[in-house]
């Protein structure tokens, strides 16, 4: 093929196709295209679908949105054909075969478009052409059951014009689009002049938080998760995400939490569009707002305190222990986020004395014992010799065979007090003749009160 | 050591009564080989707890103290406190100070326990003073446990040195360790004379008995020691 073409035209410029690069560009473009709507999808190989439900008023109507998109895409060097329609199928048909910048209003007809506008594969288009059906309108002229019988063995939508026709008219749901439009609270600010400085960004962020709080207030909602997206002039999108411990509608609090996340921001040539959305909200009835002055005088609330701690220290740093059904001491508690409710559990037995603190890893101790089965007389821990004055035990804790390997040894726990009154919890792993290893080792696991 | 419990329950020293405003900032010096500091703070708070008070409390540990003295173990905590614990682990002492101050500013916390190892540079007199002021402003209670630390400058209202003491023998098993006891030395306090006591958790309440060889008799001025002469 290439040799034939070169024989005809020797000066032909040839470049290899970069399919993966095209795909990556399209994915980046899909993310960028979310500036016109909160939801976008790829339409391979060269298309994008953006859900603009309820967004058009931000751009001054659908015509304004189309004009804005055409202008922005042209500025980035893309040749694009745009269309807005109630279904993805109709929008595809208009974008590929309709007039430039078409908007499908209720009552408009698509009958004049060729059948190829139904997103059919070439073989099906050929079949339809041989049947003499060239336009979408002509399909309605044929009895529907005749067509259904003709294509009864074609289950794929791209091979069956009836499925495509129903998708185009919105009679059949198409999994590309959400079934119900999700109306996420969303506010945005388009900036006259790209901003590059942090103080201006803080101002914009404060305005956005104020706007979002008004939107949330109108619906009696509080935000749990917030997403801030900043569109840069060079086409990149910066995203920051935030989760709150409890539903909140306090603009100063939200702005302060985002402020910490913006420290490492690289504005590049400037930010031209900022958007804040709250994808996860919870009902929050109206109440008096918590002013910063009130917090200064009366202290912060628990949720605000935990937010501040986990934003600075990370979510895994702030946790609370809850019991877990296990006999093995280090497994008998697990750590969960601080405001999570505690699941029901069996009460612990009051005659089991447990240490106040547990070492993360039990530390081996060197022991000197009177008899190998008995209690050691003294032991060395962290380079210091402890004389055992009093002891209670053993409390035997067998390994959990349903969780662990069969070679795990049992533990005999002793609560001991040394000559200076220090109280520890030590155990011996295994017995001398249990056949699961050599001489049993001793470990110090807990520090008692 | 005999198994006979003291017939007259000695009263707690006045230094352990809660200050009128409710605020307190106490520093507890303890060794890295035991957890006497945290245990002492918890048993006091357990005794002061009002029934029905379900506010959570905060326990902040920096990474070094976590490694040396371990992590709180819920089944071993006092029964009234164990379900209300919120635990914070920080990598650096600076973050621990931040977490302590946020905890003091929060009105929904019952008290705050901090545990820091050694003498980090961040824990300066200024940082201590910030904590004292925050505790006083918000009427909060702060127990700052210093694990294996030197007695440096501090603005804490009370400074204790704690070490474990031998426990009394339990009645039914004289060989077993008894209920915990601590040797507590109050070496610097704003409104109290220094003193030394053996504090003992006798199952229901905390009782105190003065040590036999008290180094600071009540009628004599104590030695200056490492305490500044111009007491605040």
Peptide bond preceding A394: is omega within 30 degrees of 0, i.e. cis?
A: yes
pLDDT band at B203 (very low <50, low <70, confident <90, very high): low
Residue B94 has pLDDT above 90, yes or no: yes
Cα distances from A193 to residues A201, A271, A287, A352, in angstroms, run 12, 8, 37, 69
Residue A180 has pLDDT above 70, yes or no: no
Residue A23 has pLDDT above 60, yes or no: yes
Residues in contact with A421: Cβ distance below 8 Å, sequence separation at least 6, in sequence order:
B163, B164, B165, B166, B167, B181, B183
Tell me which chain B residue has its CA closest to the CA of residue A319: B87
pLDDT in tens, B47-74: 888 888 889 999 999 999 999 999 999 9
Closest CB to A415: pick one of B34, B67, B177.
Answer: B177
Mean pLDDT of all residues in A230-255: 89
Peptide bond preceding A410: is omega within 30 degrees of 0, i.e. cis?
A: no
Q: What is the CATH number of domain B20-163+186-197?
A: 3.40.50.300
> What gap in Å lies between CA A62 and CA A50, rounded to an integer?
13
Please tell me whether residue A81 adopts helix, strand or coil conformation. Answer: coil
CB contact under 8 A, A355 and B108: no
CB contact under 8 A, A390 and B169: yes
Q: Report the DSSP pairing between strands B112-117 and B141-147.
A: parallel
Provide the pLDDT for residue A275: 92
From B94's Cα to the closest Cα of chain A, the distance in A is 11
Cα distances from B173 to residues A137, B3, B169, in angstroms, run 97, 10, 7
CB contact under 8 A, B175 and A318: no
How many angstroms separate the first and last alpha carbons of chain B?
A: 40
What is the interface pTM, i.e. ipTM, of the complex? Answer: 0.83
Provide the pLDDT for residue A171: 87
From B182's Cα to the closest Cα of chain A, the distance in A is 8
User: And the tokens for A318?
Assistant: 């702030």
Please tell me whether residue B47 adopts helix, strand or coil conformation. Answer: helix
CB contact under 8 A, B33 and A382: yes
> What gap in Å lies between CA A437 and CA B86, rounded to an integer?
40
Tell me which chain B residue has its CA closest to the CA of residue A343: B83
Mean pLDDT of all residues in A291-311: 79
From B230's Cα to the closest Cα of chain A, the distance in A is 33
Q: Where are the alpha helices (DSSP H) in A170-323?
A: 198-219, 251-261, 292-298, 302-313
Question: Which residues are registered as beta bridge partners of A319?
Answer: B87
Mean pLDDT of all residues in B86-98: 95
CB contact under 8 A, A342 and B35: no
pLDDT in tens, A69-126: 999 999 989 999 999 998 888 899 999 998 888 888 888 888 888 888 888 888 888 9
Mean pLDDT of all residues in A184-197: 89
Closest CB to A355: pick one of B76, B91, B176.
Answer: B76
DSSP string, A330-394: GGSEEEE-TTSPPPP-PPPPTT----SEEEEEEEEEEEEESSTTS-EEEEEETTEEEEEEEEEEE
B163 contact residues in A (CB cutoff 8 A): 420-421
Tell me which chain B residue has its CA closest to the CA of residue A297: B138
> Which residue, chain included where needed, has tokens 């060197």?
A366
Radius of gyration of chain B (CA): 17
For residue B61, the tally of other CB atoms under 10 A from its CB is 28
Q: If you count residue pairs, one on A and one on B, with CB atoms under 8 Å apart, how many are there?
A: 161
> What gap in Å lies between CA B188 and CA B159, rounded to an integer?
5
Domains and CATH numbers, chain A: 19-169 (no CATH), 186-311 (3.30.1490.100), 357-447 (no CATH)
Provide the pLDDT for residue B229: 56
DSSP character at residue A79: -
Q: Considering chain A, what is the average pLDDT of its residues?
A: 86
CB contact under 8 A, A358 and B71: yes
Interface test with B, best of A352, A358, A390, A415 (most B CBs within 10 A): A390
pLDDT band at A157 (very low <50, low <70, confident <90, very high): confident
Closest CB to A449: pick one of B70, B106, B180.
Answer: B180
Higher pLDDT pick, A24 / B88:
B88
Residue B124 has pLDDT above 90, yes or no: yes
Across A199-213, A256-270, A406-420, least confident range:
A256-270
From B229's Cα to the closest Cα of chain A, the distance in A is 33
Q: Which of A393, A343, A14, A335 is nearest to B175 (CA)?
A: A393
Residues in contact with B35: Cβ distance below 8 Å, sequence separation at least 6, in sequence order:
A356, A357, A447, A448, A449, B69, B70
Asked if residues B9 and B168 have their Cβ atoms less than 8 Å apart, the reply is: no
Provide the pLDDT for residue A320: 93
Mean pLDDT of all residues in A199-208: 91
Closest CB to B34: pick one of A306, A342, A447.
Answer: A447
Across A413-427, B132-146, B200-214, least confident range:
B200-214
Closest CB to B35: pick one of A320, A357, A415.
Answer: A357
User: And the tokens for B187?
Assistant: 């070496």
> Which residue, chain included where needed, has tokens 């295209």?
A33
Higher pLDDT pick, A236 / A294:
A236
Provide the pLDDT for residue A177: 47
Provide the pLDDT for residue B3: 43
Closest CB to A360: pick one of B71, B85, B164.
Answer: B71
Mean pLDDT of all residues in B9-32: 78
A422 contact residues in B (CB cutoff 8 A): 33-34, 164
Tell me which chain B residue has its CA closest to the CA of residue A331: B73
CB contact under 8 A, B43 and A449: yes
CB contact under 8 A, A390 and B163: no
pLDDT band at A179 (very low <50, low <70, confident <90, very high): very low
Please tell me whether residue A252 adopts helix, strand or coil conformation. Answer: helix
Interface test with A, best of B56, B74, B206 (most A CBs within 10 A): B74
Tell me which chain B residue has its CA closest to the CA of residue A418: B166
Tell me which chain A residue has its CA closest to the CA of residue B37: A449
Residue A318 has pLDDT above 50, yes or no: yes
Mean pLDDT of all residues in B99-122: 93
> What gap in Å lies between CA B53 and CA B45, rounded to an integer?
12
CB contact under 8 A, B73 and A358: yes
From A305's Cα to the closest Cα of chain B, the distance in A is 6
Asked if residues A446 and B34 have their Cβ atoms less than 8 Å apart, the reply is: no
Provide the pLDDT for residue B192: 84
Across A191-205, B20-34, B202-216, least confident range:
B202-216
DSSP string, B147-167: ET--------SEEEEEEE-PP
> Which residue, chain included where needed, has tokens 């400058």?
B153
Closest CB to A302: pick one of B42, B98, B106.
Answer: B106
Residue A16 has pLDDT above 80, yes or no: yes
B167 contact residues in A (CB cutoff 8 A): 417, 421, 423
Residue A170 has pLDDT above 90, yes or no: no
A344 contact residues in B (CB cutoff 8 A): none
CB contact under 8 A, B109 and A302: yes
Closest CB to A332: pick one of B75, B108, B163.
Answer: B75
A308 contact residues in B (CB cutoff 8 A): 102
Please tell me whether residue B111 adopts helix, strand or coil conformation. Answer: coil
C-alpha angle with apex A312: A306 to A318, nearest 5 degrees? 45
Residue B216 has pLDDT above 60, yes or no: no
CB contact under 8 A, B73 and A352: no
Provide the residue ranges of all domains of chain B, joining segments of one domain with +.
20-163+186-197
> What gap in Å lies between CA A309 and CA A244, rounded to an integer?
11
For residue B167, the tally of other CB atoms under 10 A from its CB is 22
Cα distances from A197 to residues A79, A193, A265, in angstroms, run 33, 12, 10
Closest CB to A421: pick one of B75, B165, B173.
Answer: B165
Residue A220 has pLDDT above 70, yes or no: yes
Mean pLDDT of all residues in B85-91: 95
Mean pLDDT of all residues in B93-118: 94
Residues in contact with A414: Cβ distance below 8 Å, sequence separation at least 6, in sequence order:
A375, A391, A392, A393, A394, A395, A425, A426, A427, A428
Residue A363 has pLDDT above 50, yes or no: yes
DSSP string, B168-229: PPPSS-TTS--S-EEEEEEEEESSS--EEEEEEE-SSSEEEEE-SS-SS-TTSPPP-TTS-S
Residue A185 has pLDDT above 90, yes or no: no
């Amino acid at each position: 093929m290439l040799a034939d073409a070169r024989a005809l035209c020797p000066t032909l410029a040839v470049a290899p196709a970069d399919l993966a690069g095209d795909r990556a560009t399209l994915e980046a473009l899909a993310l960028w295209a979310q500036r016109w709507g909160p939801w976008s999808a790829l339409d391979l190989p060269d298309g994008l679908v953006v859900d603009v439900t309820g967004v058009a008023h931000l751009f001054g109507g659908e015509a304004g949105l189309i004009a804005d998109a055409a202008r922005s895409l042209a500025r980035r060097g893309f040749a694009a054909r745009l269309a807005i329609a109630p279904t993805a199928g109709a929008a595809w048909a208009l974008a590929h075969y309709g007039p430039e910048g078409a908007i499908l209003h209720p009552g408009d007809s698509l009958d004049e478009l060729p059948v190829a506008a139904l997103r059919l594969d070439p073989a099906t288009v050929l079949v339809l052409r041989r049947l003499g059906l060239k336009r979408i309108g002509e399909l309605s002229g044929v009895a529907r059951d005749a067509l259904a019988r003709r294509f009864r063995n074609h289950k794929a939508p791209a091979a069956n014009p009836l499925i495509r026709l129903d998708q185009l008219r919105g009679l059949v749901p198409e999994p590309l689009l959400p079934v119900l439009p999700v109306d996420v609270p969303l506010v945005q600010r388009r900036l006259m002049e790209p901003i590059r400085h942090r103080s201006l960004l803080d101002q914009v962020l404060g305005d956005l938080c104020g706007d979002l709080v008004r939107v949330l207030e109108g619906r009696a909602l509080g935000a749990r998760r917030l997403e801030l997206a900043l569109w840069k002039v060079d086409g990149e999108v910066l995203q920051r995400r935030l989760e709150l411990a409890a539903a909140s509608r306090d603009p100063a609090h939200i702005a302060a939490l985002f402020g910490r996340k913006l420290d490492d921001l690289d504005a590049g040539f400037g930010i031209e569009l900022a958007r804040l959305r709250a994808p996860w909200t919870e009902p929050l009835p109206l109440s008096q707002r918590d002013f910063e002055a009130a917090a200064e005088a009366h202290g912060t609330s628990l949720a605000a305190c935990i937010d501040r701690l986990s934003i600075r220290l990370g979510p895994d740093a702030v946790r609370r222990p809850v019991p877990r059904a296990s006999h093995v001491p280090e497994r008998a508690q697990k750590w969960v986020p601080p405001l999570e409710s505690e699941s029901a559990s069996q009460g612990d037995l009051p005659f089991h004395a447990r240490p106040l603190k547990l070492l993360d890893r039990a530390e081996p101790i060197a022991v000197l014992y009177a008899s190998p089965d008995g209690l050691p007389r003294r032991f060395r821990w962290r380079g210091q010799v402890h004389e055992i004055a009093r002891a209670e035990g053993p409390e035997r804790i067998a390994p959990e065979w349903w969780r662990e390997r069969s070679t795990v040894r049992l533990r005999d726990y002793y609560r001991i007090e040394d000559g200076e009154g220090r109280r520890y919890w030590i155990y011996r792993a295994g017995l001398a003749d249990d056949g699961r290893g050599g001489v049993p080792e001793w470990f110090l696991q807990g520090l008692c009160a | 050591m005999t198994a006979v419990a003291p017939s007259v329950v000695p009263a707690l020293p006045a230094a352990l009564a809660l200050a009128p405003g409710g605020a307190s900032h106490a520093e507890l010096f303890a060794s890295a080989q035991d957890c006497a500091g945290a245990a002492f703070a918890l048993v006091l708070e357990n005794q002061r707890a009002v029934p029905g008070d379900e506010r959570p409390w905060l326990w902040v540990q920096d990474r070094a103290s976590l490694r040396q003295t371990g992590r709180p173990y819920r089944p071993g905590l006092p029964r009234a406190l164990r379900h209300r614990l919120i635990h914070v682990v920080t990598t650096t002492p600076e973050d621990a100070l931040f977490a302590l101050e946020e905890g003091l500013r929060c009105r929904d916390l019952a008290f705050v326990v901090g545990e820091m190892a050694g003498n980090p540079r961040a824990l300066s007199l200024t940082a201590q003073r910030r904590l004292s002021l925050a505790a006083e402003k918000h009427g909060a209670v702060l127990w700052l446990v210093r694990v294996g630390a030197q007695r440096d400058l501090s603005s804490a209202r009370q400074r204790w040195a704690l070490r474990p003491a031998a426990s009394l023998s339990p009645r039914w098993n004289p060989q077993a360790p008894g209920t915990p006891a601590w040797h507590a030395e109050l070496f610097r306090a704003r409104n109290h004379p220094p003193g030394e006591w053996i504090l003992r958790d006798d199952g229901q309440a905390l009782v105190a008995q003065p040590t036999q060889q008290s180094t600071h008799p009540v009628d004599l001025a104590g030695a200056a020691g490492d305490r500044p002469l111009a007491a605040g």
